[in-house]
Amino acid sequence: MPMAEPAVLFVCLGNICRSPLAEAALRHEAAKAGLTLTVDSAGTADYHVGEPPDPRAIRTAARFGIDIANYRGRQVEAADFTRFTHIYAADHANLRNLQRLAPHSPGAELALLLDLVAGRAGEGLTDPWYGNEDGFLDTWADVTAAARGFLAKLPR
Active site residues: 12, 18, 127
> What is the spatial distance between Cα 68 and Cα 127, in angstroms, rounded to a whole number?
18
Q: Assign residue 39 a region: left if phi > 0, alpha if psi is -120 to 50, beta otherwise?
A: beta
Kindly state the smallest distance separating residue 90's Cβ from ligand 4NP, in Å.
Answer: 6
Kindly state the smallest distance separating residue 45's Cβ from ligand 4NP, in Å.
Answer: 7
Binding mask 42-61 for ligand 4NP (x = CB under 6 A): -----x--------------
Among 56, 100, 71, 67, which residue's Cα sits nearest to residue 10?
A: 71
Helix (H) or strand (E) holding 124: none
Binding mask 108-147 for ligand 4NP (x = CB under 6 A): -------------------x-x------------------
Q: Is 12 in the site for ligand 4NP (CB under 6 A)?
A: yes
Q: Is 16 in the site for ligand 4NP (CB under 6 A)?
A: yes
Q: Is 87 in the site for ligand 4NP (CB under 6 A)?
A: no
Helix (H) or strand (E) holding 22: helix 18-32
Q: Is 80 in the site for ligand 4NP (CB under 6 A)?
A: no
DSSP lists the bridge partners of residue 38 as 7
DSSP lists the bridge partners of residue 122 as none
Inter-residue contact 147 to 29 (CB < 8 Å): yes
Query: Closer to ligand 4NP at the Cβ: 16 or 58?
Result: 16
What is the contact surface with ligand 4NP in residues (CB under 6 A)?
Answer: 12-18, 47, 127, 129
